[in-house]
A = this chain, B = another copy of it.
Amino acid sequence: MAPFVVRTVDKTLVKRVKDYIEQGDSKALIKVIDHIKAADLADLIEYLQPDERLLIFKLLEPEGVGDVFVEIEPPVQERILRDLDNQAISEIVKKLDSDDAADLMGDLPGERAKEIIKTVGDDVSEDLEKLLPYPEDTAGGIMALELVSVNADITLRDAVESIREKREEVENLYHVWAVDDFERLVGVVSLKDFILEPPERKVSDIMNPEIISINAYSDQEEAIQLTRKYDLVNIPVVDEQNRLIGRITHDDIIDT
């Protein structure tokens, strides 16, 4: 793999955006922003001055602000965090996946992090409390809590409702994990099988019980090796009792 990614930011677009900012033309800016993918907007933002970046951030839809933020290079992220007030950071944290939210909090000075945690709401702060204890170089340190797990004894029809409940929360869904009554990981079902098997079948009848998982305290490097070796798109993370507590997705592996 190449040691760096060649960035191909459209220079005329950068110029146009800078012009709109100078002219204070928010309407034109919003129109441009709305048509750019998060990763491209992140690249664009890296080409702007700190005050220009803040202005763009304020114009982003609340739903999209997290997607853009995670795509920005770490040094630029840090500068943006320094310039944003706690309220604005809190809004970003609320929109991030749990693993990205934990990373962001880890980058903040301790005092500031504590203040922000108070403002993000119970759901988010509970997620952060689960994730922050894991050292950065462990599987737990890169796992996300967003996943779909169902009891192995229910039918596919009922399991679909679990997928529906998490529709927005779990963006990249390729597998559903099956657990027993004690939340222990017992199998995995691909979405392909979900589509093709009759809805009245039980999850346990069609799941693959041979699961490759990783302990939350294992080295990150092991997660990378397992992913490469077994061509996984995501790897479930378990605790000492084999209870399913998170998953590491392919993009985190590629980034690591």
Residues of A within 8 A of B (CB): 1-2, 5-6, 37, 39, 71, 160, 163-164, 167, 172-174, 190-192, 194-196, 210, 221, 224-225, 227-231, 233, 250-251, 253-256
**Residues in chain B near residue A167, CB distance under 8 A:** 192, 196
**Residues in chain B near residue A210, CB distance under 8 A:** 37
Query: Complex formed: what's the CA distance from A210 to B37 in Å?
Result: 9
Whether B254 lies near A2 (C-beta < 8 A) is no
**Residues in chain B near residue A230, CB distance under 8 A:** 37, 39
Query: Which residue of chain B has its CB nearest to the CB of A39?
Result: B229
Q: Secondary structure at chain A's binding surface: helix, strand, loop or mixed?
A: helix
Query: Complex formed: what's the CA distance from A6 to B256 in Å?
Result: 17
Whether B229 lies near A254 (C-beta < 8 A) is no
Point out the residue from B5, B173, B221, B228 that lies within 8 Å of A228, measured CB to CB.
B5
Query: Which residue of chain B has its CB nearest to the CB of A43?
Result: B229
Query: Complex formed: what's the CA distance from A101 to B172 in Å?
Result: 29
Point out the residue from B37, B196, B229, B231 that lies within 8 Å of A172, measured CB to CB.
B231
Point out the residue from B1, B163, B196, B250 that lies within 8 Å of A250, measured CB to CB.
B250
**Residues in chain B near residue A250, CB distance under 8 A:** 231, 233, 250
Query: Complex formed: what's the CA distance from A190 to B191 in Å?
Result: 10
Whether B164 lies near A196 (C-beta < 8 A) is yes
